[in-house]
Structure 1
Amino acid sequence: MATFQKRGTRWRAIVRKKGHPAQSRTFSTKARAQAWARQVEDDIEAGLVGQGPVPTVGDLVDGHLVHLEQTSGRGRKNLTSARNLKAGLGAELLASELSFQKLQEFCQTRIAVDGVKPATTKHDIMFLSGSLTTATVSSLLPAGYRDKMASWRVGLQRAGLIGAPQSRDRRPTAEELEALLVHTKHNRALRRIRYHDLIRFAVESSMRLDEICSLRWEDVDLESGTVIIRLRKHPTQKRDQEVPLMGESQSIIEAQPRVDDRVFPYGSESVGNGFRRICRHLEIEDLHFHDLRHEGISRLFERGYQIQEVAMVSGHRDWGSLRRYVNLKAGDLARRDRER
């Protein structure tokens, strides 16, 4: 029923059966082509051919990316996870070949070789889980795959291979922030990306890097001093949010040249990588671009804004989430009480 053709260094599998349309796909090895052909034949015998043959990991993550593109305007972490899964599991691995052991090896390799934390591997695994869900909703896979993935996630969690991110309370010191601003203002090599403005805006606006790099001129209202952040991150669903431009953030926007639909027309991944290189050059340790948002939110509390006011700027929905960004000291509270 199945035939195989070598095309250069790749193999094409063709499955033909009377009464069914011919199906074909090309793989990097003959073994992969044969595995796919056997799966198609099994699907035909089981009467599942109408749903299509079992997809590969590459099919799963690519299909999920297309689905997310319809609901999210920002997807840097999703693209990274898709690349990680294709490279670590193999883009041609069939969904039917997924197992707890393969996911365990994937996470162990990421942690040992790539040096990532369990929180990072969790993002990859959750992206794969979402890919399987998208495939089942689209009838590309039976619903049983979601149940298997749920049990695999529990096992990976118990093994310490995936986990929640550790809470950070890192803020740049005044000296570190000054060094960053001086360096980015006077270094000609950094002028293609306006790091000096980006760093200041991140602190003043308390926005995430993806939000900054996605901000469009059409969503800026200079008269009212507000901007609309499209599809802002939310635990259950992304939504548009109008936020006030705090501090000097409006004047920073007004100083940007209008050369693009976006106010800051840079890729967030490029900005993040460049920021890490700048910190290494200045010998600033363990400082992430996201810590600038932490700095901005903390400053709002220090200036006396209430929780509901800060949440309007930061986008947080509850105090539990917002608390991790705030560094309240007992001495500061006692001093403020004495000054009343």
Structure 2
Amino acid sequence: MSIVCEVRKRKKGTVYKFTVKVIRQHFKAIERMSFPDKPSGRAWAKQVEQEMLKQAEQELPKYESAQSRTGDITLETYLTHYLEMNDSLPVEEQISYRDRQAILFWQKSELKNIRSNEMTEQHLIDCLIKRRKTVTASTNHLYVSVLRRAIEWQKRTGYYFKNFITPDAMKELWKLKLVGKSQRHDVRPTEEQVLLLFEELLKGYNTAQGVVPYHHIMLFSIYSTFREGEVCRIKYSQLDKEAGFVIIEDRKDPSNKFGNHQKVPLPPECLEIIDRQPPFEGDDRIFPYKAQSVASRFSERTKRLGFPELRFHSFRHEGISRLFEQKMSIPEVALRSGHKTWEHLRRYTHLLHKEPPDLWGQCKRIENKYWAENELVNKQLLRAAMTLS
């Protein structure tokens, strides 16, 4: 019997390949697996060696490999181990919130109790056919891609699940139109819609339970052109009011998601909106809210107010288009919006070729009139007012 470790240098770091071998009369077993660190590999090798010796002593006719043993687990079990492994990684290597939600969906789906040795392409097709009644083909594509990547991490998890989402299976899903490309969202809100939404969202904010100032975040998104995650991530400590700049940490970049900090100019309208935000003790963020919740609940409100076509992204889209209408150059717009190429900005140039309206000026008048005519009910604003007094 023997345990051998080979050290292999790769671009993404060192890999340790362990080989476990046990040879007895009428019994022979060999297993190999690669690991990103030596202790994990050694622990695996010792456990496998003990299992081999146990079977050798019983004179079993054939060694059952770790791959065949763990290959009989359910999809739910495999994904549980996958998430446990993901949570043990450094933050910058973990999957995104969106991908985690996809994994949680598959853990609860009708496929969850199907074992690896039983799973087929048809199981996936049947599941996606039912799911297409409630979601788009592009959403299906995203969720299938996340599941496919999770299953490809078998060696890192130490558990095996049959890779049933093959290239041929993907071709079949495309042919059946169960997966597809996402449609571009190019809707720009009208001036009337923005003013009406601002007034209604302001009323909704001035309640005892009011927490998120959606009316201000909407206007901030237009004038800053920031994504919802960026809006909810900027901090007072990284804001330079005099120079009119703020630092956005980890700005979205396909090739450099983490550590991509950018100094971005803020227009006077954004600085005025910031001045109207109540302080949050123990949180340095200007808008200390969950970006995912802000976007989803904002969409719920626009639907309820009769504008189902408007999403949170619609207002970022409006802001970028306004910059072009103000005759800003491509580099100037890209600095504010965070886009990397002209191709990504091209979709924002279906312009009206007119001077964009002063939305913040009109909204300020609406807000000042509202506070002059209505009693302050929002508990958060009341506490802030008492602190200042």
TM-score w.r.t. length of structure 2: 0.65
Tell me the distance in 1 between the aligned counterparts of 2:88 and 2:316.
29
What letter is aligned with 1:66? D
Q: What is the CA distance between 1:198 and its match in structure 2?
A: 0.8
Asked whether the 8 Å contact 2:72–2:117 carries over to 1, the reply is no
Q: What is the CA distance between 1:201 and its match in structure 2?
A: 0.9
Compared CA separation, residues 74 and 228, structure 1 to 2 (3 A): farther
1:1-340 aligned at under 5 Å gives the runs 19-20=50-51, 45-46=64-65, 48=67, 56-57=75-76, 58-59=79-80, 62-63=83-84, 66=87, 70-71=91-92, 75-112=96-133, 115-141=134-160, 145=163, 148-187=165-204, 188-189=206-207, 191-239=210-258, 240-242=260-262, 243-259=264-280, 260-328=283-351, 332=353
TM-score w.r.t. length of structure 1: 0.73
Q: What is the CA distance between 1:302 and its match in structure 2?
A: 0.7
Tell me the distance in 2 between the aligned counterparts of 1:123 and 1:67.
24
**Cα offsets for 1:5-57 (capped at 9, x unmatched):** xxxxxxxxxxx999339xxxxxxxxxxxxxxxxxxxxx961254899985734
Q: What is the CA distance between 1:81 and its match in structure 2?
A: 1.4
Runs of 5+ unmatched residues, structure 1: 1-15, 22-42, 334-340
SS at match of 1:182: helix
Cα RMSD between the aligned structures?
Answer: 3.5
Asked whether the 8 Å contact 2:232–2:285 carries over to 1, the reply is yes
**Cα offsets for 1:180-231 (capped at 9, x unmatched):** 1111223324731111111111111111112222333343333432223233
SS at match of 1:258: coil
Tell me the distance in 1 between the aligned counterparts of 2:256 and 2:167.
21
Q: What is the CA distance between 1:92 and its match in structure 2?
A: 4.6
**Cα offsets for 1:121-161 (capped at 9, x unmatched):** 1111121122123334455448x83x954443333223211
Aligned residues: 292
Q: What is the CA distance between 1:278 and its match in structure 2?
A: 1.9
Asked whether the 8 Å contact 1:213–1:265 carries over to 2, the reply is yes
Compare the two structures and name the one with the higher helix fraction.
Answer: 1
SS at match of 1:227: strand
Compared CA separation, residues 170 and 69, structure 1 to 2 (3 A): farther
SS at match of 1:248: helix
**Percent of aligned positions that are identical:** 28
What letter is aligned with 2:174? Q
Higher Cα radius of gyration:
2
Tell me the distance in 1 between the aligned counterparts of 2:63 and 2:242.
63
Tell me the distance in 2 between the aligned counterparts of 1:297 and 1:19.
63
Asked whether the 8 Å contact 1:204–1:247 carries over to 2, the reply is no
Tell me the distance in 2 between the aligned counterparts of 1:200 and 1:68.
37
What letter is aligned with 2:51? H
SS at match of 2:92: coil
Asked whether the 8 Å contact 1:122–1:163 carries over to 2, the reply is yes
What letter is aligned with 2:351? L
Q: Which moved more, 1:254-263 or 1:200-209?
A: 254-263
